[in-house]
């Protein structure tokens, strides 16, 4: 496994290399990331994993500061996987040029996280556009855990790059909690609470019947669960996974959720 510390290392390593699979991450590697990496190893000749905590996608300075960073341990985990390259760019490597036009999210897509985290997806799309331009991968592997991110990045990259985005399913703990680097910021009690909340919602979804008004049910559930678990639920909505519109059909639809456990914000969809 070669460690690429800047764009010169990157260009040298990828010179004349084809069929590259790319897994973008912000580090603190967990089994969710590993599932994307394994998929890339299976489908591509070469696999590159990037570790870059992208400042422009944090709408809150403190959140950026507190984001878990475990680069040494990440390298130990990645070395065991037989990936070809780990790319650790600096801020200057990524933001070496000013983009001619600003990235803008359509009004109709200012929903879910885009509504509550101003500028977040603009930052994600910007960094993904830059990384894709630098690496020029055949395939990019991204998790459904961050479904709206997958949806918006795919939409943008389709128009500007030839790389194909592969959506990969969410990996969960036995207690149903989705793996996330942010889970490292939670206490044991908070982790148990999060698991109970998710299980509760998964059970509600199982009981949904064709003719129910799903978003109405979730409106009342949001109030009930906020009280029951003493959490701040930012949104709890049933949406169509093809266009992210509010849904009144069971088919192709999922529950989308964002909530705060004290100061830690978690998202999920199922
Ligand atoms: P992050 O390091 O949190 O930016 O995540 C990097 C990539 O891993 C993104 O495409 C995420 O959607 C994906 N990912 C994060 N958690 C999970 C999970 N539990 N299951 C599957 N993919 C995940």
Give the pLDDT confidence score for residue 176 in this predicted structure: 98
DSSP state of 179: P
CA 80 to chain centre: 23
Give the pLDDT confidence score for residue 55 in this predicted structure: 97
Q: What angle do CA 80, 77, 141 make, to 5 degrees?
A: 90
| Structure tokens given for 39 | 């998929």
Please give the C-alpha separations between residue 142 and each of 80, 128, 164, 263, 265, in angstroms, as whole numbers: 21, 11, 11, 26, 20
Say if ligand 1 is within 6 A of residue 143 CB.
yes
CA distance 137 to 239: 31
Pick the residue whose CA is nearest to atom 14 on ligand 1.
Answer: 143
Across 166-175, average pLDDT: 98
Say if ligand 1 is within 6 A of residue 142 CB.
yes
Map residue 52 onto helix, strand or coil.
Answer: coil
**Ligand 1: which atom is nearest the Cα of residue 29?**
2
Give the pLDDT confidence score for residue 103 in this predicted structure: 97
Give the pLDDT confidence score for residue 140 in this predicted structure: 99
Say if ligand 1 is within 6 A of residue 131 CB.
no
pLDDT level of residue 25 (50, 70, 90 thresholds) = very high
CB 44 within 8 A of CB 58: no
Pick the residue whose CA is nearest to atom 11 on ligand 1.
Answer: 143
**Ligand 1: which atom is nearest the Cα of residue 27?**
2
pLDDT tens digits for range 75-97: 999 999 999 999 999 999 999 99
CA of 267 to the centre of ligand 1 (A): 11
Say if ligand 1 is within 6 A of residue 77 CB.
no
* Average pLDDT value for the chain: 97
pLDDT tens digits for range 216-252: 999 999 999 999 999 999 999 999 999 999 999 999 9
Show the DSSP H helices in the chain as ranges: 7-14, 31-43, 61-66, 71-79, 91-94, 112-116, 120-135, 147-160, 188-207, 214-229
| Structure tokens given for 22 | 């790319």
In words, the CATH class of domain 2-168 is: alpha beta
pLDDT level of residue 158 (50, 70, 90 thresholds) = very high
CA distance 171 to 8: 34
Residues written for the chain: 270
**Ligand 1: which atom is nearest the Cα of residue 181?**
3
**Ligand 1: which atom is nearest the Cα of residue 141?**
10
**Ligand 1: which atom is nearest the Cα of residue 142?**
10
Pick the residue whose CA is nearest to atom 6 on ligand 1.
Answer: 25
Give the pLDDT confidence score for residue 241 in this predicted structure: 98
33 is an active site residue: yes
CB 189 within 8 A of CB 229: no
DSSP 242-265: TT--B-SSSTTEEEEEEEEETTEE
Say if ligand 1 is within 6 A of residue 33 CB.
yes
Across 254-259, average pLDDT: 98
Say if ligand 1 is within 6 A of residue 54 CB.
no
CB 257 within 8 A of CB 215: no
Say if ligand 1 is within 6 A of residue 39 CB.
no
Across 155-170, average pLDDT: 98
Say if ligand 1 is within 6 A of residue 124 CB.
no
Give the pLDDT confidence score for residue 137 in this predicted structure: 98
CA of 209 to the centre of ligand 1 (A): 31
What φ, ψ does residue 75 adopt, rounded to 5°? Answer: -65, -40
pLDDT level of residue 209 (50, 70, 90 thresholds) = very high
Which residue ranges make up each domain of the chain? Answer: 2-168, 186-264
| Structure tokens given for 155 | 């939409």
Selected catalytic residue, list 30, 33, 120, 161: 33
Read off the pTM. Answer: 0.97
């Amino acid at each position: 496994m070669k460690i690429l510390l800047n764009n010169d290392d990157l260009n040298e390593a990828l010179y004349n290399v084809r069929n590259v699979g790319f897994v973008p991450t912000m580090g603190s590697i967990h089994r969710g990331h590993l599932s994307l990496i394994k998929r890339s190893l299976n489908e591509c000749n070469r696999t590159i994993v990037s570790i870059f905590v992208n400042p422009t996608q944090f709408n809150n300075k403190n959140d950026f500061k507190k984001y878990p960073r475990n680069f040494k341990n990440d390298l130990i985990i990645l070395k065991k996987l037989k990936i070809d390259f780990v790319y650790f760019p600096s801020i200057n490597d990524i933001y070496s040029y000013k983009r001619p036009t600003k990235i803008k999210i359509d009004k109709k897509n200012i929903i879910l996280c885009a509504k509550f985290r101003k500028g977040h997806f603009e930052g994600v799309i910007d960094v993904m556009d830059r990384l894709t331009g630098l690496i020029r991968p055949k395939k990019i592997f991204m998790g459904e855990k961050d479904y709206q991110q997958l949806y918006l990045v795919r939409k943008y990259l389709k128009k500007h790059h030839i790389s194909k985005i592969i959506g990969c399913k969410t990996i969960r703990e036995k207690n149903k909690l989705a793996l996330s680097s942010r889970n490292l910021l939670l206490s044991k009690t908070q982790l148990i609470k999060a698991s109970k909340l998710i299980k509760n919602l998964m059970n509600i979804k199982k009981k949904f019947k064709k003719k129910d008004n799903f978003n109405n049910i979730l409106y009342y559930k949001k109030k009930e669960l906020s009280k029951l678990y003493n959490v701040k639920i930012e949104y709890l909505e049933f949406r169509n996974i093809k266009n992210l519109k509010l849904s009144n059909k069971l088919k192709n639809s999922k529950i989308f959720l964002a909530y705060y456990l004290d100061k830690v914000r978690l998202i999920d969809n199922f």
